Amino acid sequence: MYQNLQGLSYYILTGILLGGLVAAGRAQAVALAPPDSLKMAAPPGPFIFGVYAQGSSIINHTVPVSHLIASHPTGIELNVQRQTTGAAPWHGWYKYPKVGLALVYYDYHNPVLGRSYAATVYLSKPISRTARHDLSFRLGTGLAYFPNHYDLYTNRKNTFVSSPLNATLQMRLEYDVALTDHLGLLLALALNHYSNGATAKPNFGINLPTLQVGLNYHQWRLGPAAGAPEPAPADVGHNFLNISTSLGYKQRSSGDPKHYLVNSVTLAAGRRLNRKSNLLVGLEGFYDRSLLAALRDSARSQEHLPDVKKAGAFVGHELLFGRLALVTHLGLYFYNPYKSNPVYYERLGLKYQFTNVIFGAIDLKVHRAAADVIEFKVGVKL
């Protein structure tokens, strides 16, 4: 009962804090889209439609998955992408990238793993582009569905994937060469990753280095001419403050089907360094209820148990794409009475600035490359 009241008071205090800060922020700034994403006069960009065949291997990255490294997955990808033309200032800062949506199918040729179906949104940044050639790097994320996931009674050998719904991360170096005015040959080297972020266990995740070959149909091939760079945003060199809270849930082991709540509160000071980057330093606190359950199961006595709450300090970077940012953090725990993890942690996520004040984020918190929890975050920027 006490824990329930404690959790309720956490949400009440968090709501009051964020509500007050939002009200204060509105007194200082009008809740409009950030200047980086303001629409500008630009012609609509051409569409590109692609279909690719793909062949992969599975990386044997830990002993508990070794029994599954016996096949070479194959699949197909369908995608549609659009060339940016400068409708927002950040288009020019990244040399007019393409943005797209991909549907990815894999057959793992293994009855334990079965098949997977994924939808990914992505950004493809040019490295070298001419009238006939386009070398670019693509980064995307999305959701994947695995019908054949881990089940204690029916599919306990699948230690890769323990839930039907998983996150996916896609990195790719791709080269498109013109065959005709509209048709292009696509060759690519990619890495696809699937994981549920420890929301269910076991969850070692699948890493698939992939070769791809396919065709692209271009509405028209020439990319936009690079004009004069847009002026730097007005907030370059300015400092700001972020206050946020997050909610996540996780399973502590495959033998315990219960899911436990994980909360965090973060206070961060930041500075916009240039068009593309924010630098941050901050403090945060964590409360992972699965640690309390694990401690009670393993302790000889239920009295004088160490505190499972943790506090850390971090440095971070935000790579900016208009309202969207790719977030990376490296943190150290300075308050960690229950030694359940390494002294440091990492975070990788996506942040979206809904207005000048309010933002949301989805982060993956990691300990030594092992997923700890997926955090759903909301906060204010002052």
CATH number at residue 174: 2.40.160.20
pLDDT tens track for 101-120 = 999 999 999 998 899 999 99
Q: Into how many domains does the chain fold? A: 2
Is residue 304 in some structural domain? yes
Task: Find out whether the peptide bond into 202 is cis, omega within 30 degrees of 0.
Answer: yes
Shared-domain flag, residues 291 and 343: yes
Alpha-carbon span 74 to 57, nearest angstrom: 9
Which whole-number Å values give the CA distances from 285 to 40, 294, 328, in the listed order? 41, 19, 18
Is residue 325 in some structural domain? yes
316 near 281, Cβ under 8 Å? yes
Alpha-carbon span 370 to 97, nearest angstrom: 32
Is residue 293 in some structural domain? yes
**Per-residue 3-state assignment (H helix, E strand, C coil) for the chain:** CHHHHHHHHHHHHHHHHHHHHHHHHHHHCCCCCCHHHCCCCCCCCCEEEEEEEEEECCCCCCHHHHHHCCCCCEEEEEEEEEECCCCCHHHHHCCCCEEEEEEEEEECCCCCCCEEEEEEEEEEEEEEECCCEEEEEEEEEEEEECCCCCECCCECCCCCCCCCEEEEEEEEEEEEEECCCCEEEEEEEEEEEEECCCCCCCCCCEEEEEEEEEEEEECCCCCCCCCCCCCCCCCCCCEEEEEEEEEEEEEEECCEEEEEEEEEEEEEEEEECCCCEEEEEEEEEEEEHHHHHHHHHHCCCCCCCCCCCEEEEEEEEEEEECCEEEEEEEEEEEECCCCCCCCEEEEEEEEEECCCCEEEEEEEEEECCEEEEEEEEEEEEC
149 near 162, Cβ under 8 Å? yes
The rounded percent of the chain whose pLDDT value lies above 90 is 53
Shared-domain flag, residues 176 and 70: yes
Mean pLDDT, the chain, rounded, equals 85
Instruction: Name the β-bridge partners of 325.
Output: 320, 351
Shared-domain flag, residues 160 and 288: no
pLDDT tens track for 183-200 = 999 999 999 999 888 788
> Encoding tokens for residue 257?
């089907």
> 113 exposed, middle or buried (CB, 10 Å; 0-12, 13-18, 19+)?
buried
Shared-domain flag, residues 147 and 272: no
Domain boundary among 218, 247, 272: 218
Per the structure, the complete domain to which residue 16 belongs is given by: 2-30+232-381
Shared-domain flag, residues 15 and 54: no
Is residue 103 in some structural domain? yes
270 near 239, Cβ under 8 Å? yes
pTM score, whole prediction = 0.79
> Encoding tokens for residue 317?
């970077």
Is residue 223 in some structural domain? no
Shared-domain flag, residues 122 and 151: yes
Is residue 36 in some structural domain? no
Shared-domain flag, residues 184 and 310: no
pLDDT digits (tens), the chain, 382 positions: 433 433 444 344 444 444 444 444 443 443 455 666 666 666 778 899 999 999 999 988 777 788 888 889 999 999 999 998 888 888 888 888 999 999 999 999 999 889 999 999 999 999 998 889 999 999 999 999 999 988 888 888 888 888 899 999 999 999 999 999 999 999 999 999 998 887 887 878 889 999 999 999 999 886 655 555 667 788 889 999 999 999 998 887 767 778 899 999 999 999 999 989 999 999 999 999 988 888 887 767 777 788 999 999 999 999 999 899 999 999 999 999 998 889 999 999 999 999 999 999 999 999 887 788 899 999 999 9
187 near 135, Cβ under 8 Å? no
Domain boundary among 218, 244, 259: 218
Shared-domain flag, residues 250 and 276: yes
Domain boundary among 167, 184, 218: 218
pLDDT tens track for 291-342 = 888 888 776 777 778 899 999 999 999 999 989 999 999 999 999 999 888 9
Shared-domain flag, residues 92 and 165: yes
